[in-house]
Amino acid sequence: MRIRAPESGVSIDDWYLPQQRRTGSDEGIGSMAPLTRQRKKALAAAAGPSIAPADRLGALPDDALRRILGFLPAKDVVRTCVLGRHCRHLWKSASGLRIGSAEEPAACGDKLMEFVGSLLQARGGSPLETCELLLCDYDNEDEPNINRWIRCAVMCHVRVLFLGFSRTLHWFEVVSLPLVSQHLARLVLFILELNGNFLDFSSCSVLEQLEIDHCRLQSVNRISSQSLKSLSIIGFSVLACSFRTQIRSPNLISLHMECITGRAPVLERMPSLVEAVGDIKSNHDSRLRRWWLLWELSF
């Protein structure tokens, strides 16, 4: 584009001003002096300093910042330390810890093991509202570290814990020791090998929601919880074949068991049960179908 030079006697500053400024009357903006370089600097100084994004964050209360950071992936949370002094240490006490997501699980490896280990160590015992560990491509040698992460999250008083895997050749095996927490309220498990006493929640006094999806429970003797209100075992989860798993949750309100193979579980007394849903696609144990028929007739 070719720019025409200004007419003689007209300054460069006047030439770039809108027409009404150059030809206006003595009133209003027409009488304003030309915006010379010096005048622009003076106007900028009079307007006061601009507020940087880090300063805007610094104006928020610490608790609000921790809540905001809790919704971000862990790597993004750590990056906030460069936004300013106020944010330099808040990432260590964010309300959430999110490693991977359902859409993009985190690939296991030495770098991830080191990152999460350092992150948990830096947090100390800062309380957690939510912890999501959604991983893929793990090796057997990663299992001790991942099991340690689960215990660390519980020690941080986590209230909602998501633990799941994808793109794996075999189920991840969770340590068979039961969880002990007075804060855990919801637990979601996906593609896991559950063993021994892991599903004994007698020491989790406020746990109300348990969701088991695509898991193997072939060596789980008992699922027990006095506080549990909602239990779902879905997605082709596998119950024990050589014995019948006991479900001992007297305060259960909702029970959802779908696409299960294995032997029919033994349900102990559930006087508070309002909803029971079953969709059995396996003929492995004919008693399983009779069991659901009895439940349907009881409502």
Specify the pLDDT at position 251. 95
Cα 34 to its chain centre, rounded Å, is: 56
Specify the pLDDT at position 45. 60
The residues near 231 (Cβ < 8 Å, ≥ 6 apart) are 210, 223, 247, 249, 252, 254, 255, 256
Residues 164, 175 share a domain: no
- Judge whether 14 lies within some domain: no
Give the residue carrying structure tokens 């006087």. Answer: 271
- Largest Cα–Cα distance in the chain? 102
Q: Which domain holds residue 35?
A: 19-45
Per-residue pLDDT band for 140 (boundaries 50, 70, 90) equals: confident
pLDDT at residue 34 greater than cutoff 80: no
Residues 292, 194 share a domain: yes
Question: Which is higher by pLDDT, 278 or 177?
Answer: 177
Which token pair is 57? 């964050």
- Judge whether 245 lies within some domain: yes
Residues 179, 165 share a domain: no
pLDDT in tens, 11-25: 333 333 344 444 444
Q: How open is the CA angle 249-251-257, to the nearest 5 degrees?
A: 55
**Stretch 38-54: mean pLDDT, rounded?**
57
Residues 299, 195 share a domain: yes
* Domain closes at, from 169, 186, 219: 169
- Distance from C-alpha of 209 to C-alpha of 194, rounded to nearest angstrom: 17
Residues 180, 225 share a domain: yes
The residues near 96 (Cβ < 8 Å, ≥ 6 apart) are 69, 70, 71, 72, 128, 129, 130, 131, 132
pTM of the shown model:
0.72
* 107-111: Cβ within 8 A, 24+ apart: 107/135, 107/136, 107/137, 108/135, 108/136, 108/137, 108/138, 108/139, 108/142, 108/146, 109/137
Specify the pLDDT at position 292. 52
Ordered DSSP codes for 84-129: -GGGTTGGGG-SEEEES-SSSPEEPSHHHHHHHHHHHHHHTT---S
Taking alpha carbons only, the member of 54, 108, 104, 111 closest to residue 79 is 54
- Distance from C-alpha of 194 to C-alpha of 212, rounded to nearest angstrom: 10
- Distance from C-alpha of 94 to C-alpha of 212, rounded to nearest angstrom: 27
- Judge whether 91 lies within some domain: yes
CB 202 within 8 A of CB 178: yes
pLDDT in tens, 177-231: 889 999 999 999 999 989 878 999 999 999 999 999 989 888 888 999 999 999 9
Residues 184, 76 share a domain: no
- Judge whether 5 lies within some domain: no
pLDDT at residue 152 greater than cutoff 80: yes
